[in-house]
Chains A and B, each alone.
Chain A
Amino acid sequence: MADLTVKIHNLELKNPVLTASGTFGYGREYDDFIDVNDLGGIIVKATTSKHREGNPYPRMAETPMGMLNAVGLQNKGIEYFVREIYPKLTEYNTNIIANVSDSTIEGYVNVARKMNKLDHIAAIELNISCPNVKEGGMAFGTSCPSAMAVTRAVREVYDKTLIVKLSPNVTSITDIALAVEEAGADSISLINTLLGMAIDSEKRKPVLSTITGGLSGPAIKPIALRMVWQVSKVVKVPVIGIGGIASASDAIEFLLAGASAVQIGTSNFIDPAITIKIIAGIEEYLIKHRIAKVKELTGALIT
């Protein structure tokens, strides 16, 4: 038996496989297919300060080996989360990580402060890809000063593991990574979706109600892998790799590139049991290559 445990700051994971926010609901959606407790942890869908209805339908466009989404952070807000959703999450015996989003710094802080009081929320992941209303709609995660400002403000009210999730829609991913590390991030996860667009030529109309949306799935894997590699070379905090992972070998590629753990997103839609298969595949790889601990793979790329 190989040792699959990894540590992300104070967070002990029984294996390096997590689920990506917005693709795994609150876990329950997958109970029929897998034992969610077998995962390293789950990152539940985004919670914002206030209830959000999200964007109008259509919110999805299929693209070659991927999809665009424009869900728009639909959720019932932090108060509802604490009251109705959290009690059910405490029944799981694995790490529950909350994804925190908002359009103002005060909003992020409000959600983070409330999450801080919930014992079974092991960590939060700050989604800084949301548009900053005060800065004219530009995402927090696309400029160093705003990424730093939101990370710093949340750091002040949040004591447990703080993961900051980066947007790939930037010129220099390493600059943003260094900025949030300096502002107090305990870990960095990347990537969120890439801004894209789909058009129905017959109707001469955009497919999504919002015209543009976020691209995910195997189509984005090469970009995600490159960004994980670049970021993990410059930061000291552990990196969590996300983007198009659909198999154990995909996950191992991210570990080799420098990630300590990975998140599985869109692939859950195609195979709701994929996460368990990936965990088994990582273990097989370790045994085959006579590697005792999965930790040894992190950054073990031979260049």
Chain B
Amino acid sequence: MKKQIAKLVVVENTPLNVKHNLLELKSHSPLTEMLPGQFVEIKVNGSESTYLRRPFSIHRVDYDKNTIHLLIKVVGKGTKSLSELEAGDSVDIIFPLGKGFSITENEEVLLVGGGCGVAPLYFLAEQLHRNGNTVNILIGGKSGEDILLHDQYKAYGNVFISTEDGSLGEKGMVTAHSIFSSHAGFGKIYCCGPDGMMRAVAHYAEKHKIPCEVSLENTMACGIGACLCCVVESVQGNVCVCTEGPVFESSTLKGWTVENEIGCSLD
């Protein structure tokens, strides 16, 4: 999978709510094969304070239309500027980067996404479904409006929702959802979202001896393994999230196992 720098054209930039946009980018040449969990690095134009590229997970790939979809949450200057892109604008992008999720076959799997952490899960659900897995997708957020595009996952599996204010799905933290107690025996768990949520899910997986993959969002300068700025402590020492990850087997991350517990719990 050769990495490339390309200019893609904005097909559509759809606001999903005040903070989130779905950005669809089209390539002139056929897209190379990409894996769920891989990411892109976008150059944001127009401001000296958005000097470095910004990393985003690949939300969806449409090989027929030659488009990549990104789910972008506005948190600062760069994402604000990306949310203002219009159809026809050109975007300078490097992709595909990193290692993706490993796709298991013919198992019952659970995907857990919190907030914008759902971004890579659509692409993942699609691939898992294609490989004969029974897919369960649990999406959490503060309130109903944080739960993005939940209907689109229905084509690939069972969708479960939890919100902290109870405005949609079960009330409470995503990690308190009843699926964890009612549904034992997942063959694999995939998780992407806030750090605390991922750690809690990783602990649950460890206790129940279920392999668990998490996707990290360390800040990056290069995205291609050249600067060593994005490291995470693994059992093999410091490793680059941009090349060895962003997806990691949670048991290989230091401080993520129950022995070195930092205070998250989920039974």
> Which residues of A line the B interface, CB within 8 A?
22-25, 29-30, 32-33, 45, 53-54, 56-60, 62-67, 69, 71, 74, 217-218, 266, 268-273
> Which residues of B line the A interface, CB within 8 A?
2-5, 43, 48-53, 94, 218-233, 237-238
What are the 3 tightest A-B residue pairs by CB atom distance, in nearest-first order? Answer: A60-B229, A269-B222, A32-B3
New A-B contacts (9) at CB < 8 Å, excluding given A67-B52, A71-B227: A24-B226, A30-B224, A33-B4, A60-B221, A65-B51, A69-B227, A71-B228, A268-B226, A269-B227
Q: List 5 A-B contacts (CB under 8 A).
A: A57-B233, A64-B49, A64-B51, A217-B51, A269-B222
- The complex places the Cα of A60 from the Cα of B233 at a distance, in Å, of 16
Contact of B228 among A66, A67, A74, A272 (CB under 8 A): A74
Q: How far is the CB of B245 from chain A (nearest CB, A)?
A: 12
- The complex places the Cα of A64 from the Cα of B48 at a distance, in Å, of 5
CB pair B228–A269 under 8 Å, yes or no, is: no
Asked whether A54 and B231 contact (CB < 8 A) given A268-B226, A269-B222, the answer is yes
Give the chain B neighbours of A65 by CB distance below 8 A: 48, 51
CB pair B5–A273 under 8 Å, yes or no, is: yes
Q: How far is the CB of A96 from chain B (nearest CB, A)?
A: 16
Residue among A53, A57, A271 facing the most chain B CB atoms (10 A cut-off): A57
Asked whether A60 and B219 contact (CB < 8 A) given A217-B51, A269-B226, A270-B52, the answer is yes
Give the chain B neighbours of A266 by CB distance below 8 A: 221
A-B contact count (CB 8 A): 91
Asked whether A272 and B51 contact (CB < 8 A) given A69-B229, A74-B231, the answer is no
Give the chain A neighbours of B230 by CB distance below 8 A: 57, 59-60
CB pair B226–A29 under 8 Å, yes or no, is: yes
Contact of B238 among A53, A269, A272 (CB under 8 A): A53
- The complex places the Cα of A247 from the Cα of B232 at a distance, in Å, of 33
Q: How far is the CB of A89 from chain B (nearest CB, A)?
A: 15
Give the chain B neighbours of A71 by CB distance below 8 A: 227-229
- The complex places the Cα of A23 from the Cα of B222 at a distance, in Å, of 9
Q: How far is the CB of B52 from chain A (nearest CB, A)?
A: 5
- The complex places the Cα of A57 from the Cα of B254 at a distance, in Å, of 13
Give the chain B neighbours of A24 by CB distance below 8 A: 226
Q: Nearest residue in B to A24 (C-beta to C-beta)?
A: B226
Asked whether A270 and B229 contact (CB < 8 A) given A29-B224, A64-B49, A69-B221, the answer is no
Q: Nearest residue in B to A266 (C-beta to C-beta)?
A: B221
CB pair B237–A271 under 8 Å, yes or no, is: no
Give the chain A neighbours of B233 by CB distance below 8 A: 56-57
Give the chain B neighbours of A22 by CB distance below 8 A: 227-228
Residue among A32, A60, A66 facing the most chain B CB atoms (10 A cut-off): A60
CB pair B219–A33 under 8 Å, yes or no, is: no
Give the chain B neighbours of A74 by CB distance below 8 A: 228, 231, 238
Q: How far is the CB of B238 from chain A (nearest CB, A)?
A: 5
- The complex places the Cα of A59 from the Cα of B5 at a distance, in Å, of 25
Q: How far is the CB of B220 from chain A (nearest CB, A)?
A: 8
Give the chain A neighbours of B94 by CB distance below 8 A: 272
Give the chain B neighbours of A273 by CB distance below 8 A: 5
CB pair A25–B225 under 8 Å, yes or no, is: yes
Q: How far is the CB of B29 from chain A (nearest CB, A)?
A: 15
Q: Nearest residue in B to A65 (C-beta to C-beta)?
A: B48
Give the chain A neighbours of B221 by CB distance below 8 A: 60, 62, 67, 69, 266, 269
Give the chain B neighbours of A64 by CB distance below 8 A: 48-49, 51
CB pair A58–B219 under 8 Å, yes or no, is: yes
Q: How far is the CB of B67 from chain A (nearest CB, A)?
A: 22
- The complex places the Cα of A63 from the Cα of B50 at a distance, in Å, of 8
Give the chain B neighbours of A67 by CB distance below 8 A: 51-52, 221
- The complex places the Cα of A54 from the Cα of B48 at a distance, in Å, of 29
Q: Nearest residue in B to A56 (C-beta to C-beta)?
A: B233
- The complex places the Cα of A269 from the Cα of B51 at a distance, in Å, of 10
Give the chain B neighbours of A32 by CB distance below 8 A: 2-4
CB pair A30–B226 under 8 Å, yes or no, is: yes
Q: Nearest residue in B to A76 (C-beta to C-beta)?
A: B237
Contact of B52 among A25, A56, A58, A269 (CB under 8 A): A269
Q: Nearest residue in B to A58 (C-beta to C-beta)?
A: B219
- The complex places the Cα of A118 from the Cα of B219 at a distance, in Å, of 36
Give the chain B neighbours of A29 by CB distance below 8 A: 222, 224-226
CB pair B5–A33 under 8 Å, yes or no, is: yes
Q: How far is the CB of A23 from chain B (nearest CB, A)?
A: 6
CB pair B227–A23 under 8 Å, yes or no, is: yes
CB pair B53–A269 under 8 Å, yes or no, is: yes
Residue among A25, A54, A64, A67 facing the most chain B CB atoms (10 A cut-off): A25
